[in-house]
Structures are given as structure tokens and as C-alpha cells.
Amino acid sequence: MNINKQTKLIVDLDKKPQSVMKTRGKINWGKIGIYAVLIIFAIIYAGPLLMLINTSLKSLPEFMKSATSVTTKLNFDNFVDAWEKANFPRYLTNTIIYTVSATLVFIVTAVFLAFPISRGYVKGSKIILSLFLIALFLPPALIPQFQLMLRLGLYNNPIGYILLFTINPIGITILVNYIKTIPRELDEAAALDGCGYFRFVTKIIFPLIRPAIATVAVLHAIGIWNELILPTIYLTNKDYYPITRGMIVFQGVYGSNWPTLAAAVLIMIMPMLIIFLFLQRYIISGLTQGAVKG
Amino acid sequence: MQAYHFGGGKARWVPYLLLLPGMLLYVLIALGPSIGTTFFSFTNATGIRGAPVDWVGLDNYNEFLLMGQASRDNLAALGRTLIFCFFVTTIQFALGLLIAVLVNKRVKGTNFFRTLYFMPVILGAVIQGLIWSLFLYPLGGPMAKILEFFGTSSEFFGGQPSEAFAWVIAVQIWANMGTTMIIFLAGLQTIPKEMYEAAEMDGASGWQTFKNVTWPLLTPSVNTNLLLNIIGSLQAWQLFLVLLGYRNGTQVLGYLIYAVGFGQTSGSVTSSFRQGYAAAASIVLFLLVLLLGSIAQFFLNRRERRILG
Amino acid sequence: MKKYFKPFMLVLMLVVVLLSACAGGAEEEVTTDDSTDAVAEDVTLRVLVHQNPPMVEFIEAFNDQFSEEYPNVTIDLSVVNANDLSTVTQTRLTANDVDVIDMFAFTNAAEPYMVNVEPPNWQTLIEAGYLLDLTGQPFVDNYFPSAIEDAGTYNGKVYQVNLGTVSYSGIYYNKDMFTEYGVEVPTTWDGLVTACETFAAEDIPCMTAGGKDGWPIFVGAYGLIGSIYPDQAALVEGLWTGDIKWNDEKSIEMWEKMKVYAQDMMEEGASGIAGDAAPGRFASGAVAMFPGGTWYASAIEASEPEFEWGYIPFPGSDDPENNKYLFGKYDQGWVINANSPHTETALLYLEEFSDPANYEAFVNAVGFFPTQPGATLDTQIGQEVAPYLENFRVGFEQYWVAPKGAGQYANPWASYFQPFGTFDDVQELADKAQEDLQSGLDANQ
């Protein structure tokens, strides 16, 4: 394949005199170094989260007395309190509906955008790509966007809300870049075999760029999941609220009660964490199976 | 325009047809409203429909860039935005690359580390802010204890503007390094194993392999990451909102636009919504992002052509 | 065939999700857009308020009571963060998607001596015809005419009934601690300095405030400005006309005291405390005093019910006569969407709310000082403040409108001093504040 040829060429150009064998000891030192760096970063990353969990299990007086002490007993009252105070199941369902449907619409439209742009199969590909690149820089246009949605009758309407999340210039850029790594010869070969455009994109390109799609979909879904400003503006009916609204209740009511707030935060991030832990195997390990090999 | 292999005549229209829905959504949701913003920037719009909107020409731009001490404060915020962009981009890029290379090694537990480093990304600014406010709790919080151990102390987000600003940079990098790492990782995994095997057989050292195999082949990921980091950090402001509030000496352009647009500049007073003025400020930010982004894009593209042909 | 299955399922799921969402939207239309004015028919009244736990709790109970009395009325209450209230008010008024709104008092009007300033948001809303004219409604007469005039009237017409005032210029003090160390409750600046020194000798920090949020520090010192410039409307006019400068002699005295307040009186670490956490810290007995608004009283009581505290005006002047004023603001009020299809029901809602019994229950739940003559605030803060109420004045923040082009230091904020801000030198800060202000005044000549 094209990319293999290229990369082999680079290696050939840089051929260096062979230094015979690596010693075992050197490798081990390398490993220790790797682990040292990874563990230092793990502490920076896990520390704040552990602090959150620890706090959520304490009572308020305990926290006031000593913020850092490790909790002595498992006090789940904060979780009960948080769960009772917010309508989490309903909000959670809404958030999942918004996230899944907007991501699906986005991915489907994005692939049909990114492929011909990347390949130059439509007139003005470069202009279209520049348009999307410019969109990366565009200022947030809250007010004009709101007026538009209002006139289209999409205010306080889940469909309108979902539509707001069906574009993502960053996602398009990633897909375009990724498709570039897939050799053009493939298109030619498929066409010679009598494969149509739609079938080629859905049957061959889709699976080939699965890793990029997974990455883009997750990044996109995270943005929808965490959106706080748009639901405040576009959704006024309680039945439509996403889960980020549940968080607002907590910041307002429990602003200074760190233990309960911590419990609410944990409840709120739990579903996304689980989904992520489940998906990340697919995103990252899926890559190893080899996007290039198909 | 490249040679098209999937038939002529009517079949030639298929890619256009399939591209249309995405294009329409884009025009409807992003491009159209942004053109609206450009229009607003020349008016005294308040965002209230029905309120009179007068064409004021370049008044908003004049006020933002040239009028009195306020304009010098605005330019200071612009400078701060660039400083923020510089530190976030460089550190996040370097750390993301280092970590991606390390977790791509065949050592045990890489899956755990990848997951952990990526985790903050899924939390969103509000929760990232809450977590760090707790971790940097000045009255006996963990970081305060650590600093105490080293015989020093910090006011963290409540401290001097430059100190608070530095902490926001740290949290911003903590929060988004995972994205950079994942994109590099995706790039690393497209590099065929045979390449490394070949390099090893040639006796290349670890550094040589990185320099001659990994780095050039990572070019698409490098481009994506650099652009994303530059643009993202120029536009980022939510962490400032969550961690600092609108404080003198810490404002960046994105936050300034939000604050003047929605009457939140003074903390406790609800003043007028100056959306025409805010629109002008967002156009200034847009031009800044466009300029820096285009420069980066230009050099990255040139480099990509040189390496990948 | 198998390969087509997945994309097919995706599209199918998508269609199902969109259709179900669509159906949900359609149902909603039927129940809310039932445009009728007749109270006898089923009406859903959309009420928007900002997040304030005791108030939301009260309004929920009131809504139940209202729906019981008028079974045909369903109330759809939305709660948003205080910061988002004006944004949401604006979007929902524009979309005609709200009937009754909680809105902050009409303040910061453009005065004749101000040049080239933007009208405040409420004024734009009235001029665009969004707020219902309440002039002549019988329930308006339940309120002090002065409150209606000051907080809810524009161009001679009433658009808002304001529900109460709060003071932001007082200091909470720990009664037990003052008794224990034999410290007198201060009535002058010297008294306050002495009190703090006494506590400092005992290793007790004098004051705390939510420095992390920024504004609690400078709002905490608004009383200090008030005792130096008791007529705050005149202060604002003086600043605009140039008769008063932020670096003249009187102002320098203010800045000097602010420096003492920010650097000597505030406890170390106050800059890291969140605004919500400060009342709890005061109630825990960690500090002797807490400068803050009357709205903190319920939080102090909630965190430590047995705790004995008192509330005094900020003694910023050496003359006790100048320290008798409490400064504050009219807080929230009700307005009605002029384009609402349910204006009659909305008026009925306000009428019911303004009923003296309901209103008194409301102020006691929320802790506002009443704007109705008959009502009294029975809580402790109500009793603490009662002696000063005749000297209640609207504060600087409600009058001040900055000239365009003025710098960001053109405010009398104690939080500019270290450790909350960057300044340490009084003269330097005073000059900077005046320079930033002057720059705006000059730009509009």
C-alpha cells in the first residue's frame, strides 16, 4: 500500500550502520523510566478525583474539621440526599437521547462530507474545506442563532436542540485528515470491481475509518453531554431538561456543602464514565487491529 | 478536482447529493448566524427583538480598540489571550505527545493510564472546575497540605492575578491533554509495526526511530493537534468563569465577550446587554484566531507536503 | 447483506428517536399554547424565577396553594441561576414563552448628567413593549408608594411590584466572642480597629468574606464608602461632573481604610473562600466578624442554629452620626409579559401573591425587608436591622453607570488591594482609579 511504500522509503533513506543487539538491562531501565513518568501523571490525574470521592463520603462537619483526612466510615447519606434532590433519571434519559441522536446525525452527514472533500471528488472541495476550517474560528453566534431557531419554530423543541449539535468542524477536519491516509488506489480498484459510490463509502470507507469515527463521535458526544449554556437558553420545559440542569440545582442549593456537591458530581459523571470505560476499549484497542490494513 | 472513478452522468451527482445535508446544517447553524454576528457588530443591538437597532458604523470597533482606558484594558485581555494560548498549546502538545508515545509502548497497564489521562475530557468545564476548586481548597485542602510540606503556600485561584492565571493554565492543560494524547495515539497506531521492526533491524536507537519513523509519520496528527490547541485555547474561557469569575488582571477575550454581551462585567449588577459591542469584540477575536490559525495552517501544510509528498 | 445491517439500524434508530421527540413536542404545544384569557378555562401559567433556595421553596408552596384555589390553573415554574436570569428572561420574552417573571429592581438608570451611556436592560425591554403596564392595578396599592416609584416605575408607569429590600453594608459579629474578650460593639472606625486588634492579640482573625468570588470583598466594604459619602446619588453625580475625584482627600481616606480592611482585618486565606462558604465559616466561630449582606442571615442560622450573632452598619467614619446608615438595594420583583396570552391569570397570580398574609409569609421565608406597610420581618435579622431601617439608603452600586471607555479600575472596590488584587500603595491605587475614570469621561467629551 501507498503509505507503507512511503514510510519504508523514509526508513531506507535514514539507514544507519547496524548496532548489534540491545542488552536486557537497558530495556528494563527504559521500562522503569516509562512507569515513573506514567505514575507521576497518574497521581496528578487521579488525585483530584480521589479527593472528590473521599469528600463525598464525609459529613459536612468532618469536612470542615479536616478537608484532607481519609474518611473513616462510608457515609452514603450524601448520595441519597443528592439523588432525592434532583430528578436524575428523567434528565439522564433526555441527555442520552440528545447525545445519541445528534451524534448519529452528525457522523452520517460528516462522513459524506469528509470523504469527497478529502478526495477532491466534488467541485470546490478546497473552498468547502476552507469554509469548515473557518468555522473552527467562528465566534459563538448565540443571538442570531437563537433568532433563527425561534423563527423556524424550533425553540423549546428537542429536535431544534438536537439540530444545534449536528455540526462539528473539528470532527470534519479530523475525518478529512484521516481519510487522506487511505490510499486512493482503493477507490480505483473498487470502482473497477463495479462498486458504486454510496456502497463504497458505506461498505469500505466506513469500516476503514472506524477508529477516526469512534474518536470523533466520542469527542462530539462529550460536548453535547456537558453542554450547559444552550439548554438554559433553548429548553424551558422541565420534561426536556438534560442532566447538566440537575447540576445547576446543586450549585444553587449546595454551593458550600462540599460533601453533598461531591456526591452529586459523582452521580452525574458516573453514566458517562461507564460509557467511556466501555467505549474506550473499542476506540483505542480497535485501532490496533489496524485501520490501514482494513 | 481529482479523477472520479464511480461513473459519469447522473451517477456523478451522487457525492453532491450525499454531501448536501451536512452542508445545509452547517450553513443553518454555524455560517448563517456568524454572518449575523458580523452584521450586529455594526449596530447597537441589545439582542432584544423589537428594540430599535441603529446602524452605528465602526463605533463599536472604535470603542473596543481605541477609546480610553477601557480599550487599553481590552488590548491587555487580548495579550493575555495570546499568553494563555502560547503556554497551553506548547505544554499540552509536548505532554500529549510524550504520554501518547509512552502509553503506546508494550508495557503493562497502558490501557489503565490511557483511560485515566483521558478522563477529565469527559467531565466538562463545570465539573473540572468543581474538582479543582476542591483539590485546591486553600483551608487545608490536599494541594495546600503538599505546599505546606515544602514550606510554601499559595492562594491558588484567589491569589494574585498572575498566580491565579497560571493555575487556570494548569487546569486547562490537565483537562484537555487527554484529547491531544488520543489524537496522537490514533496517529501512532496507524504506523505499521513493520516500520518499527525494520528500524530495529537497521539498529536504530529509540530516539532515531522516533525522529525518522514516528515523527514524520505522525504529521497528520501533529497538524490536527497544533491547530486544535491553538484555536481551542484562543477561544477557551469557561474555566475562567468557573474558577475565577470576572476578575481584573485575568480576563481573556472570550470571557470578555460573554460578559459584555450578557451584562455580567461587574459581578453583582445586571447591566445592559451590549451585544452589538460584544459582536464587534467577537469579530476581533475571530480575526485573531483566523490570523494565527492560518499562519499555523500554512506552515503545517508546507511541512506536510515536504514530508508526505 | 450483513454489512448493510448496521448502517440500516442506525438510520432506523435515528428516525425513531426523532419521531418520538417530535411527538413529544407536539403534545406540549397543545397544553401550553392554549391561548385564552378567561380564567375559567384551563391555563398553564409559566413562571420564571432565579435560584435562591428559600424563595424557590416558598414559591413552590405558594403555587400549590394557588392551584388549589384555582384548579383550572397549572403553574409551570422554571428556576435558573441568578447569573442566567437576565439572559433567559430576554430569550423567553422574545419567544413569548413566559408569563410571570422574577426581575431585579429597575436601577442604574441613565441620569441626565451622564453622557453617551447605554440604557439598562429593563429600560430596553419596556421600550420594546415587553413588560405589561401595571399602573392602576389594585394590588399595586398594597406596596409603599416609594418602593413602587423607586424600583418599578418608568416614565410615570408602573411595570414592576418590588418584593423587598436587602442591605449589603452591615457587619455580622459573634456576640459570645465580643462578651468573652470584653470588646465593645464598634460604632466608629477607631472602635472597629481596636476591636480587631484585641482579637488579633488573642490570635483570632477579625473578619472573613468570600474572597474567591471577588465581589463579597468589595461589597463587604460598601458600608465604608457609605459612611464617608452618605449621599451616594450625589457621589455618582460628583464623579461624573468631576466635583468628586477618586484621588481627592476624602477618597484617599476611603482607600486608606479599605487597605486596612483588606489587609489587616480580613483573615489570611480569605481570598480562597467561596462566597457560599463564608457564612458557615463565620458561624463556626473561626472569626469574630463577617461583613456581608442581610441575605446571609439564613445561611448562618442554618449552619449553626445555636450561634449568637448581631448585625451593625459598617462603622467606616470616626463620627458615629455617619455610621447610622444601612445601604442596600431593592431586590427582586414581579413583572408580567405584555404579550402573554394569559395576562389576566398572571395579574391574578400577582394579586394573590401581594395579599398581605401571603406577602408577609414570603418576606419571612426569604429575609427581605418588606416593601408593604403592614408586613414585618420576624426573623432575627429583621429585628437586628429594625432600628436602622429608617436610615435605609440605596447604595452606590445601584446608581453607578460607568462612562464608555472607562478603565476596569474605575470603581471604589476594596478588592483591588492585595491579596485580593494587585495594589498595595494607597496613592497609586487612588490615582489609577481616577485615571481610569477620567479616561472614560474624557473620551465622551
Answer yes or no: is C245 within a domain.
yes
Structure confidence by residue, pLDDT tens digits, B71-88: 999 999 999 999 999 999
pLDDT tens by residue, B197-220: 888 888 888 888 888 888 988 888
The reported pLDDT for the residue numbered C379 is 86
Asked if B23 and B73 sit in the same domain, the reply is: no
| Per-window interface: A 166-195 vs B, CB < 8 A | 166-167, 169-170, 173-174, 177-178, 180-181, 184, 187-188, 190-192, 195
More confident residue, A230 or C154: C154
What does the pLDDT average to over A162-191?
87
Instruction: Quickly state the pLDDT bin for B266 (edges 50, 70, 90).
Output: low
Q: Which of A138, A192, A206, A247 to mutate to probe the B interface, most B CBs <10 Å?
A: A138
Q: Which residues of B touch A144 (CB under 8 A)?
A: 32-37, 39-40
Q: Flag whether A147 is in a domain.
A: yes
Q: Cis before residue C419, ω within 30 degrees of 0?
A: yes
B39 by Cβ neighbours in 10 Å (0-12 / 13-18 / 19+) ranks as middle
Nearest residue in B to C103, CA atom: B270
Does some domain include residue B177? yes
The DSSP result for chain B, as a single string, is -----S-SGGGGGHHHHHHHHHHHHHIIIIIHHHHHHHHHTTB---S-TTS---B-TTHHHHHHHHSHHHHHHHHHHHHHHHHHHHHHHHHHHHHHHHHHHHHTSS-TTHHHHHHHHHGGGGTHHHHHHHHHHHHT-TTT-HHHHHHHHTT----GGGS-HHHHHHHHHHHHHHHHHHHHHHHHHHHHHTS-HHHHHHHHHTT--HHHHIIIIIHHHTHHHHHHHHHHHHHHHHH--HHHHHHT-S-TTT--HHHHHHHHHTT-TTSS------HHHHHHHHHHHHHHHHHHHHHHHHHHHHHHHHHH-
Mean pLDDT confidence for B48-65 = 86
Q: H-helix or E-strand containing C289?
A: strand C289-292
The answer to whether the CB atoms of B213 and A219 lie below 8 A apart is no
Residue A223 covered by a domain: yes
Q: Is residue A20 part of a domain?
A: no
Interface probe for A, chosen from C91, C92, C124 (most Cβ of A below 10 Å), is: C91
Domain assignment present for A274? no
Distance to chain B for A77, nearest Cα, Å: 20
Interchain contact, A136 vs B29, CB within 8 Å: no
- Would residue A27 count as lying in a domain? no
DSSP state of A205: I
Cross-strand pairs, A122: none
Same domain, B85 and B117: yes
- 3-state DSSP assignment of residue A77: helix
- Name the residue among B48, B133, B262 with its Cβ closest to that of C125: B48
Residue contact A100–C81, C-beta within 8 A:
no
Q: Which of C14, C32, C75 to mutate to test the interface with A (most CBs of A within 10 A)?
A: C14
- Please report the pLDDT score of residue C299 as a whole number: 83
Q: Determine whether the interchain pair B286/A291 forms a contact, defined as Cβ–Cβ distance below 8 Å.
A: no
- Residues 122 through 151 of chain B touching chain C, CB cutoff 8 Å: 133, 136-139
Supply the pLDDT for residue C60. Answer: 94
Whether residue B25 is found in the same domain as residue B135: no
Q: CA nearest C213 in B: which residue? A: B245
Q: CA geometry: angle at A14 spanning A12 and A17, to 5°?
A: 95
Q: Are residues B243 and B94 in the same domain?
A: yes
Chain B, chain C: beta-carbon pairs less than 8 Å apart: 141
C-alpha cell at C418: 492585595
**What is the reported pLDDT for C8?**
41
Q: Which residues of C207-218 are buried (b: 16+ CB within 10 A; e: fewer)?
A: bbbbbbbbbbbb
Looking at per-residue confidence, does A251 or C132 come out higher? C132
Same domain (yes/no): C204, C120: no
Whether B52 maps to a domain, the answer reads: no
Residues 169-228 of B with CB under 8 A from C: none
Looking at the domain assignment, is residue C18 inside a domain? no
Measure C52 CA to nearest chain A CA, in Å: 7
pLDDT band at A2 (very low <50, low <70, confident <90, very high): very low
Phi (first) and psi of residue B12, to 5 degrees: -65, -25
For chain A, percent of residues with pLDDT exceeding 70: 82
Chain A closest-CA separation from residue C276 CA (Å) = 5
Q: Do the domain assignments include residue B48?
A: no
Residues of C in contact with A237 (CB under 8 A): 28, 32, 76
Q: Are residues C144 and C190 in the same domain?
A: no
For chains A and C, count residue pairs whose Cβ atoms are closer than 8 Å: 89
Asked whether residue B240 carries a pLDDT value surpassing 80, the answer given is yes
Q: Which residues of chain C have a pLDDT value below 70?
A: 1-40
Do B17 and B116 share a domain, yes or no?
Answer: no
Average pLDDT, chain B: 86
* Chain A / chain B CB contacts < 8 angstroms: 300
- Higher-pLDDT residue of C428 and A226 is C428
B11 shares a domain with B66: no
Q: What interhelical angle do B124-135 and A210-226 show, nearest 10? A: 70
Q: Kindly determine whether residue B139 and residue A67, on different chains, have CB atoms separated by under 8 Å.
A: yes
Residue type, A106: F
Is residue A193 situated within a structural domain?
A: yes
Query: Could you say which DSSP state residue C261 is in?
Result: I
**pLDDT tops 80 at residue A246:** no
The alpha carbon of residue A125 is apart from the nearest alpha carbon of chain C, in Å, by 26
- At residue C359, the pLDDT reads 95
Instruction: Please determine, for residue A67, whether its predicted confidence score (pLDDT) is greater than 80.
Output: no
C433 and C306 belong to one structural domain: yes
Q: Domain of A185? A: 87-253
B-chain residues near C429 (CB < 8 A) = none
Task: Write down the pLDDT at residue C431.
Answer: 96
Q: Which of A108, A233, A248 sits opposite C91 (nearest CB)?
A: A233
Residues B140 and B229 in one domain: yes
Question: Could you tell me which chain C residue has the CA closest to the CA of B265?
Answer: C408
Of the candidates C269, C406, C408, which has its C-beta nearest B139's C-beta? Answer: C269
Question: What residues form DSSP beta bridges with C50?
Answer: C80
Q: Is C19 on the interface with A (CB under 8 A)?
A: no
Distance in angstroms (rounded) separating the CA atoms of residues C332 and C353: 14
C427 and C360 within one domain? no
Q: Please report, for the domain that includes residue A121, its CATH number.
A: 1.10.3720.10
Number of domains observed in the structure of chain C = 2
Q: With respect to residue A64, please indicate whether it lies within any of the assigned structural domains.
A: no
Determine, yes or no, domain membership for A41.
no
Q: Is the pLDDT of residue A102 over 90?
A: yes
Residue C127: burial class (beta carbons within 10 Å; 0-12, 13-18, 19+): middle
Task: Measure in Å the smallest separation between the Cα of A143 and chain B Cα atoms.
Answer: 6
Selecting from B2, B21, B115 the residue whose C-beta is nearest the C-beta of A109 gives B21
Task: Identify all chain A residues contacting B135, using CB atoms and an 8 Å cutoff.
Answer: 47-48, 51
Residue C435: which domain range?
Answer: 170-324+402-443
A28/B contact by beta carbon, under 8 A: no
Do residue C237 and residue C294 come from a single domain?
yes
Mean pLDDT computed over B174-189 = 87
Q: Does B18 touch chain C if contact means CB atoms closer than 8 Å?
A: no
Answer yes or no: is pLDDT of A1 > 70: no
Which set of grid coordinates corresponds to residue C415? 478588592
**Given C386, C410, C432, which residue is the final one in a domain?**
C386
Question: Which chains touch B (3+ CB pairs under 8 A)?
Answer: A, C
CATH number at residue B108: 1.10.3720.10
Q: Show the domain range for B35.
A: 1-40
Split into its structural domains, chain A has a count of 1
Whether the predicted interface score ipTM is above 0.85: no
Residue C21 lies in a domain: no
Q: What pLDDT, on the 0 to 100 scale, is given for residue A256?
A: 66
The reported pLDDT for the residue numbered A255 is 64
Contact criterion met (CB < 8 Å) for A100 and C17? yes
Task: Examine the domain organization and report whether C109 and C79 are in the same domain.
Answer: yes
- Domain check: are C179 and C319 in the same one? yes
How many Cβ atoms sit within 10 Å of the Cβ of residue A125?
19
pLDDT in tens, B78-117: 999 999 999 999 999 999 999 999 988 878 888 889 888 9
| Nearest chain C residue to A152, by CA | C95
Instruction: Tell me which chain C residues have a C-beta less than 8 angstroms from the C-beta of A157.
Output: 25
Same domain, B10 and B79: no
**Which of B54, B153, B155, B238 is best to mutate for the C interface (most C CBs within 10 A)?**
B155
Residue A5 has pLDDT above 50, yes or no: no
On whether any CB of chain A is under 8 Å from the CB of B107, the answer is: yes
pLDDT of residue A239: 82
Query: Pick from C109, C105, C119: which is nearest to C158 by CA?
Result: C105
Cross-chain residue pair A238–C76, CB shorter than 8 Å: yes
Same-domain check for residues B32 and B64:
no
Query: Would the CB atoms of C214 and B247 count as touching at under 8 Å?
Result: yes
Same domain, B160 and B300: yes
Nearest to A105 among C14, C276, C284 (CB): C14
CATH number at residue C285: 3.40.190.10
